[in-house]
Amino acid sequence: MKAIIEHNQIKFAASLDQPIDISIPLSEEGPRAWYVDRMTIRPVQGEGFIGDITQGGSVNFRNIQFNPHGHGTHTESYEHVAAVKRPVGTLLTKYFFSAQLISVAPQQIAEDKIITKNQIEQQLEEAVEALVVRTLPNTEDKLSKDYSNSNFPYFEEEALKFLAEKNIQHLLVDLPSVDREQDDGRLAAHKAFWKHGDASRHQCTITEFVFVKNTISDGLYLLELQVAPFINDAAPSRPVLYPLVEVK
């Protein structure tokens, strides 16, 4: 099954039978950030009932405790940084977008590793709706790492101002945040992407904690972005890429 999209007046076919899932599943072994404990999945118990077949229960029936920002792949709305009701779970009105995947090695600047505007500008294609950023080195410890107190890489504010100017609607990154772990609550990159205070960008999203395997090439893709319908500023999500082939 294929879908046809047009990018810069060139037609591409997306192979919908070749999905590339770039989400990290929510699990007790998954990554975490922001000083939260690992997520927990526990059977409901009470009055002679246990929701675990392996422990003698008649059905599996579990409570799950997690933080949407601190555990696994999640998508955020403008509500994350503003006193507005803009729940991410009801924000999207379509789910397929033209997208570009790029790989970037953050620059060492003093004690920080920073993704700069110049690095993004050198690679960004014109007229894509979404950008997926894979940071280098890209190792599988991203699937289980505790990022708390690690001063992980982050984006220069000017880089996200540039993406807003280029009308990137959806930004996806393999980091816990686009901002510095400890930034005194400024969230400068988040606010730059959404043009904080300007209503024109409130339909845009930021997705964090994705993982793109090294076997996936940089380039153009069709992105499917599905977000769990939480009435909240952030929700678990499942971004999927589909390869594109130019239609001759």
The residue ranges of DSSP E strands in the chain, in sequence order, are 2-7, 10-15, 20-21, 40-43, 45-46, 49-50, 62-65, 74-76, 96-104, 107-109, 112-115, 130-135, 154-155, 170-173, 205-208, 219-227, 234-246
pLDDT (0 to 100) of residue 175: 98
pLDDT (0 to 100) of residue 128: 96
Helix H segments across 54-210?
117-123, 157-165, 188-194
Containing structural domain, residue 206: 2-26+67-246
Mean pLDDT of the 229-241 span: 98
pLDDT (0 to 100) of residue 14: 87
Residue 239 lies in a domain: yes
- Cα torsion for 121, 122, 127, 129, to the nearest 10°? -70
pLDDT (0 to 100) of residue 82: 94
The answer on pLDDT for 7 being more than 90 is no
pLDDT (0 to 100) of residue 223: 97
Give the separation between CA 140 and CA 106, rounded to whole angstroms: 18
CB 41 within 8 A of CB 48: no
Residue 133: closest CA among 109, 144, 111, 117: 117
Model confidence band, residue 5 (pLDDT cutoffs 50, 70, 90): confident
pLDDT (0 to 100) of residue 9: 77
Give the separation between CA 62 and CA 52, rounded to whole angstroms: 8
Q: pLDDT tens-digit profile of 68-104?
A: 999 999 999 999 999 999 999 999 999 999 999 999 9
Of 4-8, 19-23, 125-129, 180-184, the least confident? 4-8
Residue 49 lies in a domain: no
Number of structural domains the chain divides into: 1
Residue 133: closest CA among 78, 175, 73: 175
Residue 43 lies in a domain: no
Residue 45 lies in a domain: no
The answer on pLDDT for 171 being more than 80 is yes
Q: pLDDT tens-digit profile of 108-163?
A: 999 999 999 999 999 999 899 999 999 999 999 999 999 999 999 999 999 999 99
The answer on pLDDT for 12 being more than 90 is no
- Domain with residue 155: its CATH number is 3.50.30.50
State the average pLDDT for the chain: 95
Q: pLDDT tens-digit profile of 186-200?
A: 999 999 999 998 878
Residue 34 lies in a domain: no
Residue 222 lies in a domain: yes
| More reliable by pLDDT, 63 or 8 | 63
Give the separation between CA 161 and CA 192, rounded to whole angstroms: 5
| Residue 57: count of CB within 10 angstroms of its CB | 15
| More reliable by pLDDT, 23 or 247 | 23
Contacts of 160 (CB under 8 A, 6+ apart): 171, 178, 189, 190, 192, 193
pLDDT (0 to 100) of residue 198: 87
Model confidence band, residue 3 (pLDDT cutoffs 50, 70, 90): confident
The answer on pLDDT for 248 being more than 90 is no
pLDDT (0 to 100) of residue 15: 84
CB 3 within 8 A of CB 13: yes
Give the separation between CA 215 and CA 192, rounded to whole angstroms: 32
| More reliable by pLDDT, 155 or 14 | 155
Strand pairing class (154-155; 112-115)? parallel
Residue 161 lies in a domain: yes
End-to-end distance of the chain based on CA atoms, in angstroms?
18
Residue 193 lies in a domain: yes
Strand pairing class (130-135; 96-104)? parallel
Residue 118: closest CA among 132, 104, 97: 104
The answer on pLDDT for 235 being more than 80 is yes
| Global pTM value | 0.95
Helix H segments across 38-197?
117-123, 157-165, 188-194
